[in-house]
Structure 1
Amino acid sequence: MEHVPPPAEELALLDRELAQLDARRAHLLARRAWLVDVVRAQVPAAPPWGQWGAPPAGRPPAQPWGVAARHPAPSAPRSAQNVLLTLGGLLLTVAAVAFTLVSWGSMGIAGRSAVLALVTLAALAAPALLLRRKLGATAEALAALALVLTLLDAYAVHAVAAPDTDGLAFTAGAAAVLAALWAGYGLALDKLHLPLPAAVFFAQWPLLLGAWAAGAPAIVVGWALLATAVLDGALALWGKGLGVRVTAGIGLAVTGSAALLVGLAQSLTADGPLGAVLPGALLLTAAVAALAGAWHAPNGFAQVGGAVAGLAAVAAVGGVLRTAVPDTWHVPAYLLCGLALLYVVRVRLPRGAGLGVLLAAGAVVAGALVWALPPVAAVLLGPVRLVAEVWAGAPEGFRGALGESMAWSRAAGAPVVLAVVAGVLGAAYRWWPSLVRAAAPLLSPGAKVRGAAGAGALGLGWGAVLLAAATLGVPYPAAVVLETALVAGLLVVAVQGAGTAGSTGEGSGSGGGRSAVTVCALVGAVVGAVSVGLLSLAVEAATYAVFGALLVLFAGAALLTRAVVAQAVFAVAAVVWGTVLTGCAARSLGLAPHEAAPLLLVVPALTVALGARLRLHPVALPVELAGALGALVAVGAAVPDAPFLALVLALCGVLAAGAAVRPERRPAAGYLAAVLFVAATWVRLAASEVSVPEAYTLPVTVPALVVGVLRRRKDPEASSWTAYGPGLAATLLPSLAVAWTDPDWVRPLLLGVAALVITLLGARYRLQALLLLGGAVLALDTLHELAPYVVQVAGALPRWLPPALAGLLLLAVGATYEQRLRDARRLKDIVGRMR
């Protein structure tokens, strides 16, 4: 309960709190007044209005400092200054270039040297004087001019003093001199932002251009690039100023990538282990440098450095191993090197660097899987070609069943890749707690990661076995038995996992991640069953053996598992395999497709019976829908022959009616049964060349009217349109359409009598649908019959008589308009009160 103090105690409490608030407010106000005085003392007083004139009209007087600071003046003067300085520096630069290129030849050597030296020294000295006067922007502009002048000086020296010197060699030396010059200049005038980044830019070229000028081999060029990248990395980590670090970072990305590409290209084209040693040394050095940089870099850059280090190390060692093994085993060699990077979890590396090395290992494994998985897809999809050659005879070995489009000799290392990766993932799944403790400094894997590892181990192990059988060229019967056994094994894993996944949490104990393994086993079992089923189509006995075994395995799995989703998948698959078996039996009996259609309904009939047994079990609906799919296949098979199609539709209607006996299936199955029976009747009539429309419509009308009568008995308030409208319209409207084109008198007479009876019944029992439908059809039918006579009479009458009669009719209606309106409203009310 909440304690409420007495009024006197609460009043004293409030007074103490208010006193504390007042003291705090007084302290803040005193502090604010002191700060205002300090700020005002630092800002020169504005000139009085008397000196500059009165303030403009509509302009408020000057605000105190605290108020004016809220609305700072625009920075247009600074922007204008920058524009002017930039434009001035650009004009001076253009003038210097023009002088060097155009007016150079009109002066002697001494004069030219003196002018360039004087201008360059002046441009270099001016920023120091400007910085003393706090004119930083102007100093930056002149420093940029000095930078251009030093480039022109280098060009002038090469053109005059050393014209015969190799251009690349001279450029390398000039870049080194300029880098040193601008580095010293930038350190001396540390307030300038341009010199040090310019020095970093010039430092990118001496080693590269020097090696190029000397005609060094590619590996030497790679070392030059690597040395430059190391320098860039050091500057990016410890350089002075953001500009230096950004410029060095860009240089590191460019030169480092180029060095790695040179080393990788040399390693991949090496002819033997000795030839791969030098590129390997380059790559290993790059790996050490990247790891050292990652050790000191921020987290994001450290991950990049660790990944580069790992990939470079794999390329170095794997390149040497590649030259010692056949072509088929190149990828496994690199894979082993990539898996060796996983030992980083045992090394005390910074978190970012270690995580980058792990990412490099993952990239190597992913690349190896990309190379090894396409042959697995060829093994699984290869038997599709046997669909066009059912029971053509046993092929020559497993490869013969898969086709010769795959170069199996080149895929000999793929099963090894899959098996190794599956083993690593399986070990991680098995000893997950130990792995989590070891990898805790680098990452925090959860149960979902463990599940992915277990699922990957299961799927890759299955693919490795299949691919090994294909590459070894096992006999066809052995391949069929092997694939069937693998499906059985996957079903065992799926059943065991489904029986415990619902009760074992994803994140606790040994059950963490088991659901992913179960899903992988479930999907693999279904995919493997389809593959081995296709593979068995080559031989009749193999087909019956495989699909019979699949039926038993999946039905047993459906009975043993406790998870509803897995149970439904197993049951549906069992229904599909049973349907395939019935189709195979029809083929063995030599039946044509339309003759086999009734036999295909055996499995749908069993699913209807099984659904009645299961009742409201969640698996019942998927099983019955799978049976309905088999019935649809039977209907499609019977389409070429109308009598068989009518028979199959009627049998499907019987099955639907049997399902409609159950209350939970009645709404959908009842309508489906009616549609199937009607369709069967129509097909049968069409096959018998019956063209009378009533033969097609009456089988619909009679049951519909019976249903309507039952509906009205159960619900007297139901509308007559709902109960009788569809049934009556199904016969009356098609018959009326045919009667209008029928020259005989029998159909119009029978239709008119029927419409009259329906109209009278509607009036007698006050049923709106019967009255309006019957009356409309009767009127139209009568009009059709009287039309010839009306035309004949109209032709015998004088031309003036029809207009006269129309006028008299209009006068009569106009004279009694109000009475006719009351009669129409009364008729509307009477019809509206009908059901």
Structure 2
Amino acid sequence: MPVSVTPATLAVMTHIPSPAEELRLLDAELYRLDARRAQLLARRGWLLSQLPPVPPLPAAVPPRPEASGPRVQNVLLVLGGVLLTLAAAAFTLVGWGHLGITGRAAVLGAVTAAALAAPVPLLKRGLRSTAESVAGLGLALTVLDAYALYAAALTEADATGYAAGATAVLAAGWAAYGLLLPRAAGRPLLLPAPAAVGVAQLPLVLLAVAVGADATGTAAALLVTAAADTALALRVMSGPARIAAVAGAYGLGGWGVLTAAGPGWTAAGPGAAAPAAGLLLLAAGIALAGAWAPRAGTARGNAAVAGLLAVAALGAVPRTVVSESWVVPVYLGWGIALLALPRVARIPGVVRLGLGVASGVVQALAVVAALPAVAVALLGPLGAPLRVWSGVPADARAAVTADLPWPPASGTAVLVPAAVAAVLVCAVREPLWRPRALDAATVLGWAAVLVLPPVLRLPYAVALAVLVVTAAALAAWKRLLPTVLALVTSLVAGLLSLAAEPATLLVFALLTVVFAVGARRPAPVAAAAAYATALLCAAGAAFGWQPSHLAPPVLLVPVAAALWAARTAGATRVSAEVSGGVAALVAVGLAVPDAPMLALVLALTGVIVAGTAVRPDRRFAGQVAAALFVLAAWVRLAAWEVAVPEAYALPVAVPALVVGVLRRRRDPRASSWTAYGPALAAGLLPSLAAVWGDAHWQRPLLLGVAALLVTLAGARHHLQAPLLLGGSVLALVALHELAPYLVQVAGALPRWAPPALAGALLLALGATYEQRLREVRRVRETLGRMD
């Protein structure tokens, strides 16, 4: 029978020893190799530690070049061009006289022609940087040629006029050179075009100086040049030439605007202002062209500048024919008119936005111009409390300018904020900005109403009526900003009303009613309380009452505030209570000079606070009421010239003791120190202090009896506070009573007796020290078990 050989059997037959045994042998050999490796590494480390330190060899790092090849090349080329230019200038200025006229022309012409022609072969050979340097040398030589021509043949000509013509020729020649060179060399150069643009900034300006032009002529030359720069910048979309043109447009344009603005602002008539206005319109057109162009990165700014310049130009002539007060409205009108342009669909959006910004800037400046009048109308009445009931002012302006001067040219201070407010309401429609615009319009409208009486010189009574009605209207508008404006307006009206007694009473009464109507909010509650307090004080003063006699009527305000607080909640309740508290403090302050009246006011205030403490959420007010009652009693006793301390202490101690008893009944776990400690201290300690200065026997006897009773009560009920306070007071009273006898005994004893007694006492104490310690521990444990 044949034997079959399977793969498994073949694997067993070919592995001698078995795979498991061979794997074990391999692991053992690897372990020995690892151990040997570790031994060799340890030996190597020890040998290295025995060798002396060898300084490391610095790595050979090739030096890093500090300048690249192209940079070195450019530096060399620029330096060479500068040196050649300097040499040519020195030749022209110093060595010019050694040659005749033919030689001069030949040398400069040959050198200039060679320098201008050299870039052609250089460009063909690819030497662009060298060609730029040589071309720069050639352009510089043309300047020297122009100077040489003037020095040789045109010395009698006007230098400035010749410079104007020369720069114009140079600009044209350099531009032609930059345009023709690519045809000859096949490649353009970068330098000629921006150089031509830069020189082109000079001809018109130099020409204006040469002909003696005034500021208007100089501004015209500057703005025409800026217009040419703008046209070039819009035609050339990139490259150094455009950069030079943009720089020239902004630089000369700004210079021209500043030069033209002076005559426009100082012109005395339309004829003098018209040229400046035309130049400003030209500048506006230049800026608008820069904003209208496609791919203009500063389009919004250019459009805003164009709008501002247009407003300045259109207002220059009317400004000379209107009064000083109407100058600001004139410019404001043109600024508002700019808002019509953004609604034209053909105008690009970015331009419309820039014009809107310009209009906003004009309106903001107009509002700033009206602020001095608003400030006087708002701050002028602050000095009124120094002149209470001094007499009715002549008009509203006289009322607010008693301490501050009225700003000049403020006749239209009402129109400006009102117009801007109307624009904000009508023009701003975006949902995001609409609420902010309405708030700003509210403030501007309020400012217009505030400044209206002094601007129009309204009668004093009419001015007060306008302010009170405005405060009422704003207070009825249940929003935070109108409420704040209502408070400020009422304050201005109240201060102005102090000039006359009837006005004070009427205005304060109206303001009290105005804010009492809106007493569902915190701010009107506080304002109503303040004006009610002021009204009561003013009414009492009108009747000729003494300040202390005004205090009881003023307490009507805390009463009303407490009643109103009981019907409201939240911040309004807190505002009512705080306002009532402030009014109560005013009443107390008024009553301070009269002690009996002060006691009455304190007691009445305590009644009001006690009524507030009836509410469950205001229980803590009961403590304040108790303090007020006690203080009222003390003031009354002081008014009666009572010097007995028990009269002051017992009205505090007895109610406090009753409160402590009630608390212990309600909460038996309350500490005796918390319940009875304040009452016992208030009742015993003032009498104890009086005992030491009292030569009679009645007070020590009564105080001792009271302290004894308190001590017995504390021992009976195991209470710490009565036991310790009563016992301490009893011991001190006994010491006070025995002190004279102790002094007599000490005087009768011989001198050796006190030391002997002290030694005996120390021996007795030392003999019983341990026993006394155990007794002290027991007493402490007993006291600890007490409440």
Please indicate the TM-score interval, normalised by the length of the shorter structure. 0.7 to 0.9
Q: Does 1:212 align with 2:209?
A: yes
User: Deviation at 1:312?
Assistant: 0.7
Q: Does 1:471 align with 2:455?
A: yes
Per-residue deviation at 1:309?
1.0
**Is residue 119–residue 135 contact of structure 2 (8 Å, CA) maintained in 1?**
no
Partner residue, 1:53: none
Q: 2:596 aligns with which of 643, 655, 664?
A: 643
| 1-structure distance, mates of 2:258, 2:705 | 95
Deviation, 1:706, is 2.9
Identical positions, percent: 45
- One-letter code of the match for 1:649? L
User: Who is 1:17 aligned against?
Assistant: none
Secondary structure of the 1:77 match is coil
Select 1:522's aligned residue among 472, 477, 483. Answer: 483
Equivalences for 1:696-775 in 2 at 5 Å?
696-730=648-682, 758=710, 761-771=713-723
Instruction: Give CA deviations for 1:414-471 in whole Å, capped at 9, x if unaligned.
Output: 223234334434444xxxxxx74xxxxxxxx215x33344444444445435544333
Distance 1:714 1:144 in 2: 109
Equivalent residue number for residue 676 of structure 1: 628
1:363-396 CA-to-partner distances (Å, cap 9, x unmatched) read 1111112222332343344344443333333322
Pair 1:350 & 2:334 matched: no
In the TM superposition, what is the alpha-carbon distance from 1:657 to its structure 2 partner?
A: 1.0
Q: Aligned to 2:616, what secondary structure does the other structure show?
A: coil
Q: In structure 2, do the counterparts of structure 1 residues 253 and 821 end up closer, same or farther at CA, with 3 Å as the change threshold?
A: farther
Greater mean alpha carbon deviation, residues 522-531 or residues 341-350 = 522-531
- Determine the structure 2 residue equivalent to 1:655: 608
Specify the alignment match of 2:468 in structure 1. 484
Are 1:540 and 2:525 counterparts?
no
Q: Which residue of 1 is the match for residue 397 of structure 2?
A: 399
Shift of 1:282: 0.8
Distance 1:340 1:608 in 2: 56
Structure 2: state its 5+ residue gaps. Answer: 1-55
2:619 is the counterpart of 1:619: no
Q: Deviations over 1:667-718 (max 9, x none)?
A: 2x22322332333334344444555555544444433333333222222222
Whole-angstrom CA distance in 2 between matches of 1:732 and 1:243? 100
Q: Matched residues in 2 for 1:179 and 1:773: separation?
A: 110
In the TM superposition, what is the alpha-carbon distance from 1:642 to its structure 2 partner? 3.2
Matched with 1:446 is 431
The separation in 1 between residues aligned to 2:135 and 2:649, in whole angstroms, is 96
Paired residues, number: 716
Q: 1:227: which partner in 2?
A: 224
Answering whether residue 370 of structure 2 is matched by residue 366 of structure 1, we say no
RMSD: 4.9
Other structure's SS at 2:354 match: helix
Most deviating of 727-736 and 353-362: 727-736
**Structure 1 residue ranges without an equivalent (≥5):** 1-55, 61-72, 429-434, 437-444, 499-517, 559-563
Deviation at 1:622, TM superposition (A): 2.0
Is 1:603 paired with 2:557? yes
Partner of 2:584: 631
Residues 810-829 of structure 1: CA deviation (Å, up to 9, x unaligned): 9769x95xx88877766665
Q: Name the SS of the counterpart of 2:515 in structure 1.
A: helix
Aligned counterparts, 1:205-354, within 5 A: 205-234=202-231, 239=236, 241=238, 248-296=245-293, 301-348=298-345, 349-354=347-352
Q: Matches of residues 5-154 of structure 1 in structure 2 within 5 Å?
A: 77=65, 79=67, 107-109=95-97, 129=122, 153=144
**In 2, Cα distance between the equivalents of 1:128 and 1:724?**
117
Shift of 1:483: 3.2
Identify if the C-alpha distance between structure 1 residues 802 and 420 changes in structure 2 by more than 3 Å, giving closer, same or farther.
same
Checking the alignment, whether the CA contact within 8 Å between 1:96 and 1:149 is kept in structure 2 is no
Structure 2 counterpart SS, 1:544: helix
One-letter amino acid matched to 1:288? G
Q: In structure 2, do the counterparts of structure 1 residues 152 and 208 end up closer, same or farther at CA, with 3 Å as the change threshold?
A: closer
| Structure 2 CA distance for aligned equivalents of residues 775 and 77 of structure 1 | 100
> How many Å apart are 1:206 and its aligned residue?
3.8
CA contact (8 A) 2:81 2:134 kept: no
> Counterparts of 1:419 and 1:117 in 2: how far apart (Å)?
75
Partner Cα separation in structure 1 for residue 98 and residue 426 of structure 2: 80
**CA contact 2:529–2:579 (8 Å) conserved in 1:** yes
Contact residue 171 and residue 209 of structure 1 kept, 8 A: yes
Q: Which amino acid aligns with 1:664?
A: D
**How much has 1:486 moved relative to structure 2?**
3.4
TM-score (norm 1): 0.72
**Equivalent position to 2:511, from 542, 550, 555:** 550
Determine the C-alpha separation between the residues in 1 that align with 2:260 and 2:360.
22
Q: Distance in 2 between matches of 1:710 and 1:529?
A: 50
Query: 1 CA distance for matches of 2:317 and 2:697?
Result: 100
Amino acid at match of 1:367: L
Which amino acid counterpart does residue 374 of structure 2 have in structure 1? V
User: Residues 411, 97 of structure 1: CA spacing in aligned structure 2 closer, same or farther, 3 A cutoff?
Assistant: same
Shift of 1:279: 0.9
Which AA in structure 2 matches 1:279? A
Contact 2:396/2:463 (CA < 8 Å) preserved in 1?
yes
Preserved contact between residue 408 and residue 470 of structure 1 (Cα < 8 Å): no
Distance 1:557 1:94, change over 3 A: same
**Higher Cα Rg: structure 1 or 2?**
2
Label 1:769 to 1:146 Cα distance change in 2 as closer, same or farther (>3 A).
Answer: farther
C-alpha distance 797-534 of structure 1, shift in aligned 2 (>3 A): same
What CA deviation, in whole Å up to 9, does each residue of 1:483-538 have, x standing for no partner?
3333444445x1xxx4xxxxxxxxxxxxxxxxxxx445433333333323333333
Aligned equivalents of 1:125, 1:225: Cα separation in 2: 36
In the alignment, residue 622 of structure 2 is paired with which amino acid?
G
Letter in 1 for 2:502: A
Q: Distance in 1 between matches of 2:780 and 2:177?
A: 105
- Work out the CA distance in 2 between the residues paired with 1:170 and 1:182: 18
Return the alpha-carbon distance in structure 2 between the equivalents of residues 699 and 235 of structure 1: 99
Rate the CA distance shift 1:57–1:649 in 2: closer, same or farther, 3 A. Answer: same
Answer with 549-558 or 757-766: which moved more: 757-766
Aligned residue in 1 for 2:53: none
Contact kept in structure 1, 2:89 and 2:144, CA below 8 Å = no
Counterpart-to-counterpart distance in 2, 1:520 and 1:648: 38
Q: Give how far 1:339 is off.
A: 1.0
CA contact (8 A) 2:112 2:141 kept: no
Distance 1:760 1:132, change over 3 A: farther
Shift of 1:181: 7.0
Deviations 1:70-117 (A, max 9, x none): xxx999536566886787689769967986898987745468986999
Give the corresponding residue for 2:492. 531
Which one of 576, 579, 583 corresponds to residue 533 of structure 2? 579
Structure 1's 640 and 543: CA in aligned 2 closer, same or farther, altered over 3 A? same
Distance 1:159 1:127 in 2: 30
Task: Report the 3-state secondary structure (helix = DSSP H, G, I; strand = E; otherwise coil) of the residue aligned with 1:585.
Answer: helix
Deviation at 1:151, TM superposition (A): 10
Give, in whole Å, the separation in 1 of the partners of 2:192 and 2:645: 98
Task: Determine the structure 1 residue equivalent to 2:411.
Answer: 412
Q: Residue by residue, what CA displacement relative to the aligned partner does 1:538-597 show, whole Å, maximum 9, x if unpaired?
A: 333333333333333333344xxxxx54xx333333333322221122112211212211
Q: Contact conserved, 1:294 with 1:353, CA < 8 A, in 2?
A: yes
**What SS class does the counterpart of residue 664 from structure 1 fall into?**
helix
